[in-house]
Amino acid sequence: MNNSITILGFAGSLRKNSYNKSLLRAAKELVPKDVKLETFDLEGIPPFNQDLETKMPEKVKEFKARIKAADAILIATPEYNYSIPGVLKNAIDWASRPYGDNSFHDKPVAVMSASIGMLGGARAQYHLRQTFVFLNMHPINSPEVTVAFADEKIDENGRVTDEETRERIGELVERLVAWTRRLRKE
């Protein structure tokens, strides 16, 4: 049986110097040898319009295909107004459609969040986890990677410099890989 794992990661921020994009970059450096972490940029996904479900925009088609091809999903998201950014929700809504073709169906998933505030995006993570129920995804519960005061843990080059944060990201990825392999066997 093919034991290799491909994870698709995406960030809920379009910002060039996004701290959440930095978390994904760190995760890429920390994945085990036989695991590939690819990333997808949500830039260019238009606002969801149900009228277009039968003629999906190219960027959405690409997003759906990349999700389907992946064994697991890793989302790094900011918290906006105590919830997930519209950009992320919009992308999820597209990929969940049309009815009967939810690209996220049955996928293992892990979440990270970085915020300049003291809760590290925890509230956004709980809103996101709520959507996993209807998407029929299989999230891992721990470790919780909520990076508070991200501006003190990520340098001006976008590198996660805080050792404890790097360790938690590494642990999260390892758990996601183990969870993905376990689900595969069942």
Binding mask 38-77 for ligand FMN (x = CB under 6 A): ----------------------------------------
Establish if 140 lies at the interface with ligand FMN (CB under 6 A). no
Specify the amino acid at residue 66. Answer: R
Rule CB under 6 A: is residue 152 a binding residue for ligand FMN?
no
Minimal distance, residue 82 CB to ligand FMN, in Å: 5
Q: Is 19 near ligand FMN (CB under 6 A)?
A: yes
Q: 116 near 150, Cβ under 8 Å?
A: yes
Based on CB atoms, which residue is closest to ligand FMN, 101 or 155? Answer: 155
Which of 64, 72, 79, 153 touches ligand FMN by CB under 6 A? 79
What's the closest the beta carbon of residue 76 comes to ligand FMN, in angstroms?
7
- β-partners of residue 146 are 113
Q: SS3 of 139, please?
A: strand
- Termini Cα distance of the chain: 13
The minimum distance between CB 57 and ligand FMN, in angstroms, equals 23
**By CB under 6 A, what part of segment 116-135 binds ligand FMN?**
116-117, 119, 121
Which residue, 82 or 134, has its beta carbon nearer to ligand FMN?
A: 82
| Nearer CB in complex with ligand FMN: 10/94 | 10
Comparing CA positions, the residue from 48, 45, 87 lying closest to residue 63 is 45
Where do contacts with ligand FMN occur on this chain (CB under 6 A)? 13, 15, 18-20, 78-82, 114-117, 119, 121
